[in-house]
Amino acid sequence: MKIMAVCGFGVGSSMVLKMTIEKAARQLNADIEVENSDITSARGAQCDAIFTSFELAETLSGSVKVPVIPIKKYMDLEEVKRALSKLV
């Protein structure tokens, strides 16, 4: 499974979210590839799900065909793990 961690510019907060998703995937023993990206690139990316902020989730939801998962606290391992466990 491939997941995109998305923020406005694809560097800062998406990298933090990517690391949290990877840690959650390890704890769930899930085989997941995670990439971080900006919102524009995410629209055309081939992935199985997108994790992002609530604000960007609203923008992305209508323009992609994969689940867009809003995350409130990017460093909250339990929040990310709960969201991830619904996909795997």
Measured CA to CA, the distance from residue 44 to residue 84 in angstroms comes to 22
The pLDDT value recorded for residue 11 is 86
The pLDDT value recorded for residue 10 is 86
At 1-11, the pLDDT tens digits run 999 999 999 88
Residue 76's CATH number:
3.40.50.2300
Q: Is residue 57 part of a domain?
A: yes
The pLDDT value recorded for residue 75 is 97
Q: Is residue 68 part of a domain?
A: yes
Q: Both tokens of residue 27?
A: 């704890």
Q: Is residue 88 part of a domain?
A: no
Domain containing residue 51: 2-83
At 17-67, the pLDDT tens digits run 999 999 999 999 999 999 999 999 999 999 999 999 999 999 999 899 999
Q: What is the pTM of this model?
A: 0.94
End-to-end CA distance of the chain, in Å?
8
